[in-house]
Amino acid sequence: MPITNVVPLFPKVLTQGKLVVNNDVLTKDILSKFEDNKKNNKNETSFFSTDPYLHNELIYKEISDAILNFVNLTTSEIFQYDEITPEISLMWATVSEKNQNIHRHYHPNSLFSGTYYPQHINYAPIRFYTPYRNMLLPRKKETNMFNTHSASFVPTQGDIFLFPSELEHDTDRNNECENRISIAFNIFIRGKFGDDSILSSLTI
């Protein structure tokens, strides 16, 4: 009996794109914040994070606008959302020195999250984990989208990744001598939700 169809039901969607912004300005400012932090925290061994409100700083307006344009494209063209306005709720930069990694985590109190990569370096991969818990783990002939439990992506300069905030993710160890910089952000949406006919409407 032949298989007539295979349907990936209710997928978690990651969208990837390229942004064109002044990366030199971004990396210079982030590294300046990193160096200032090191002067005051000489024994710090984990990766560095800036404060989470970079989108309120004028120097980050270009990247903030570019991120929101990409989010708007994703929500309108991929998800077909209507009458909503995405906004950046938090945005911060991380710096990982050689041999440092970013632990496994997720981003509560947001709908989408994302990362942007401003450097021309050999980036350590970002890895995402399935939110579904399989109780049986049969051996696999080969790994594919139907049986994998994680997925890794190697960023290059200008890449942006947008994903559901509930997806757990981490990064591999930075094996480069150069510090690894990324800019992370959370997205919330405002607008009209639900439907009056089923008493589920809401405006935020």
* Residue 134 confidence (pLDDT): 83
Beta 84-96 vs 180-193: how paired, if at all? antiparallel
Helices (H), the chain: 23-40, 61-73
> What is the gyration radius of the CA atoms in the chain, in angstroms?
19
Tell me which H or E stretch contains 170: strand 169-171
Helix, strand or coil for residue 42?
coil
N-to-C CA span, the chain: 51
What's the burial of 169, exposed, middle or buried (CB within 10 Å: 0-12/13-18/19+)?
Answer: buried
CB atoms within 10 A of CB 189: 17
* Residue 156 confidence (pLDDT): 98
Sorted by sequence, the CB contacts under 8 Å of residue 159 that are 6+ apart come out as 16, 17, 18, 116, 117
pLDDT average per 10 residues of sequence, the chain (204 residues): 91 96 98 90 78 98 98 97 97 96 97 98 96 89 93 98 98 94 98 91 93
Look up the CATH architecture of domain 15-132+146-203. Sandwich (2.60)
- Name which of 129, 176, 182, 192 is nearest 156 in CA terms: 182
* Residue 133 confidence (pLDDT): 84
* Residue 147 confidence (pLDDT): 92
Distance CA 102, CA 1 (A): 47
* Residue 45 confidence (pLDDT): 66
* Residue 2 confidence (pLDDT): 92
- Name which of 87, 49, 81 is nearest 65 in CA terms: 87
* Residue 46 confidence (pLDDT): 82
CB atoms within 10 A of CB 19: 19
Phi, psi of 198 (to 5 degrees): -115, 20
* Residue 1 confidence (pLDDT): 82
Distance CA 76, CA 80 (A): 4
Cβ atoms of 188 and 58 closer than 8 Å:
no
Predicted structure pTM score: 0.94
* Residue 135 confidence (pLDDT): 86
Q: Which residue carries 């990324």 as its tokens?
A: 182
Where along the chain do its domains lie?
A: 15-132+146-203
* Residue 42 confidence (pLDDT): 60
